[in-house]
């Protein structure tokens, strides 16, 4: 379960089970920033039409709340693909203040370097946090329907094994606030792409198709060997809770972005 902690007016949502652990992680919400509507107020997305100076100030406020330097952030380009990039100290600051130097083509990042804070943007898509307390490594995936269908959560876990020797049974996963099965209506194409993710992922009622991206990503991680008990699902729907969170669907496409962050 994700719970909100207030840090000087900035909301940090964190998985309760992870609270006592030596891993920094959080998901932001709409409050405490300087952006005007429709980005009010803590929009951290540089690509949505908001004023870049306001976005940078919002990112600075978020970093202050997290207790990290903005230069510690590393962000991927986020292209709704399935590329997982291994990043380290030399990547610090990439995508922190500019889009153009984000890690190209990456929708997921992994690191075992302390002080490197993985950073990604969301407004309905699913943030998947991974933590290996044994090998001391973290991962963060941006899983929309395309990434989910392409197995990005599984690929992120696999990359941690490959790069850091993580064993799947040691991994802990948290699936953060994002659009829920209550609100995620999909068309035939998306339904077909996600149906293979497992039974019950796509359901039809009242002639409407709805998909459960939380269950799809959890199933994928379980298949990769992450113990079910180690997979925490926030269960917070960004569209239902659109007063608190930016929701691409809930706000008709023109809205801000929240951040997910994780680091050692
Ligand atoms: Zn909902």
Q: What is the pLDDT of residues 146-181, one digit of tens each?
A: 999 999 999 999 999 999 999 999 999 999 999 999
Q: What distance in angstroms lies between residue 142's CA and the mean position of ligand 1's atoms?
A: 19
- Taking only the tens place, the pLDDT of each residue in 40-96 is 999 999 999 999 999 999 999 999 999 999 999 999 999 999 999 999 999 999 999
Query: Residue 246: is its pLDDT beyond 90?
Result: yes
Q: 197 CA to middle of ligand 1, Å?
A: 20
- How many angstroms is it from 264 CA to the middle of ligand 1? 32
Task: Report how far ligand 1's centroid is from the alpha carbon of 101 (Å).
Answer: 34
Q: For residues 74 and 94, give the distance between their C-alpha atoms in angstroms, rounded to a whole number.
A: 5
The mean predicted confidence, pLDDT, of the chain is 97
- Neighbouring C-beta atoms of residue 53, cutoff 10 Å: 9
Q: What is the pTM of this model?
A: 0.98
Which pLDDT does position 8 carry in this prediction? Answer: 85
Give distance in angstroms: CA of 235 to centre of ligand 1.
Answer: 9
Domains of the chain: 2-263 (3.60.140.10)
Determine the distance separating the centroid of ligand 1 and the alpha carbon of 180, expressed in angstroms. 5
Q: What is the mean pLDDT of residues 10-19?
A: 97
Q: Are 251 and 128 in contact (CB under 8 A)?
A: no
Q: Yes or no: say if 184 and 211 are a contact pair by the CB < 8 Å rule.
A: yes
User: Dihedral angle at the C-alpha atoms of 182, 184, 188, 193, nearest 10 degrees?
Assistant: -110
Cα 188 to middle of ligand 1, angstroms: 20
Measure 82 CA to ligand 1 centroid, in angstroms: 25
223, 262, 222: which is closest to 132 by C-alpha?
A: 262
Contacts for 105 with CB less than 8 Å, ≥ 6 apart: 76, 77, 79, 81, 83
Contact 139, 152 (CB under 8 A): no
How far is the centre of ligand 1, averaged over its atoms, from the C-alpha of 238 (Å)? 7
Q: Residue 199 pLDDT more than 90?
A: no
CA of 11 to the centre of ligand 1 (A): 20
Ligand 1 centroid to residue 261 C-alpha, Å: 23
Q: What is the pLDDT of residue 57?
A: 98
For residue 206, the model assigns a pLDDT of 85
Report whether 85 contacts 109 (CB < 8 A): yes
């Amino acid at each position: 379960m994700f719970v909100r902690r207030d840090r000087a007016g900035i909301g940090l949502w964190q998985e309760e089970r992870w609270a006592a652990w030596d891993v920094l992680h959080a998901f932001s919400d709409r409050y405490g920033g300087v952006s005007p509507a429709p980005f009010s107020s803590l929009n951290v997305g540089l690509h949505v039409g908001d004023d870049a100076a306001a976005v940078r100030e919002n990112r600075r406020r978020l970093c202050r709340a997290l207790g990290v330097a903005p230069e510690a952030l590393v962000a991927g380009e986020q292209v709704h693909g399935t590329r997982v990039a291994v990043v380290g100290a030399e990547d610090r600051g990439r995508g922190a203040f500019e889009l153009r130097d984000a890690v190209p083509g990456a929708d997921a990042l992994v690191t075992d370097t302390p002080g490197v804070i993985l950073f990604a943007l969301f407004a309905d898509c699913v943030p998947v946090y991974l933590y290996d307390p044994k090998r001391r490594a973290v991962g963060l995936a941006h899983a929309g329907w395309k990434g989910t269908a392409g197995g990005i959560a599984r690929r992120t876990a696999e990359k941690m094994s490959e790069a850091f020797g993580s064993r799947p049974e040691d991994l802990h996963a948290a699936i953060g606030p994002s659009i829920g099965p209550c609100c995620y209506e999909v068309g035939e194409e998306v339904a077909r792409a996600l149906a293979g993710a497992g039974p019950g992922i796509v359901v039809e009622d009242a002639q409407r198709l709805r998909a459960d991206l939380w269950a799809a990503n959890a199933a994928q991680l379980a298949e990769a060997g992450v113990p079910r008990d180690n997979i925490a699902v926030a269960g917070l729907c960004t569209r239902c809770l659109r007063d608190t969170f930016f929701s691409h669907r809930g706000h008709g496409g023109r809205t801000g972005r929240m951040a997910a962050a994780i680091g050692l």
